[in-house]
Structure 1
């Protein structure tokens, strides 16, 4: 997405105080954080060079596609100065050196392999599903469907981010909606950097930017975060309050697909409620 590199760099330097990096602070500043000149000095590059990066231009050209000439050493140095974590550092490399753009076309995600669907169906005690690069649901098992209701939605609405921001039940499903929303947007931005020419990602960001003020605010923060594992709470209309651990695994042969599995604590109230939800789902089916 055009402007991602410059916007990301500006957002990162805005959070660094001069005293954090050993520079004197001369009174109040017009804008928070480091100046571009200070970042360039600390990173060991010329001011003009750094300004071109923030403008999305390459070191020696005017086109964003020429930024592929940025070296690892320069990006590493800028990441160090701006105190980026490993995820932010990797994202910087991705948006600074995007792959060569192809002719715009709708990206049709590859179907989920039959073996993966068989794996999903074998997990009869845990909700599980497969997501595409725009966090759209591509496949699921019975409990995953019972938890999120994928099968009852048209394909265009089987998207976790869209459901979270645009559907009323999306807010009701998560007791800690604000934290889930921030994590979801940070994960989507990470995916958007890796799949810059994916039309599904671009269209989703465009739609949510138009329709959701909460999404616009979170997207403008330029947070990036990998959602690999953790714990999430649900307020399900049938099962009640559920506390589930999750693991997100990239499928090796289709790295744009992610397998997400939720697991309850054995013997917990959530495990009992999840079993009841499974019985309810099979009866309803």
Structure 2
């Protein structure tokens, strides 16, 4: 099973120097790399020549009402063609309204939203010539609507005929913050549509609220939930996300190794 790590500029040199056996693929946000030249562009080319590259978008605003940015999607398709990228994912959210909002905002869990978002996903897939995997996001205000989150996600996947990027940390954070059963959420997901997993760290507020930060080590309950996902859904490529407070590479390597052990059924959180 493939293990990956998110590509950040702060990690670029480290990843190029790392043992090739530590990770099997890297994931980047195409918005941050399209048109990048110079030293960083050369480093990206070198890394992409060594390891498969996945693309994880930040700005499509799949749930928004602004028209899809087709010229941007053309650039994304060209970037993926250049680097031989097959896997393209985006967030099941909206993030734009007459401009970029720089946040991933939740959608109402309604049939109308399902139809709206599914239509936009189908147009994205046509534009880039690839299936899209949508990611379940973390959210902090209770979502309103006609269905629960798991039913909403499944309806989107079916209506759009797309795949799922299952973020295990987001499941844990949402379950804790909104009072639902994380294991039941995993069990409800259609295994045949789960393309890959994300795992990341979060922050525990003193009042119990959990904030998805990608700025800390993965916590033991999230590791346990990832192991549950491997048992209930099956092993899939799994990506370690870290966006801030970067530790020494040895700590990241230890987390990558734990992912491999959990997938093989031979590991457990400390």
| TMscore range, shorter length | under 0.3
TM-score by length of structure 1 reads 0.26
Larger radius of gyration: 1
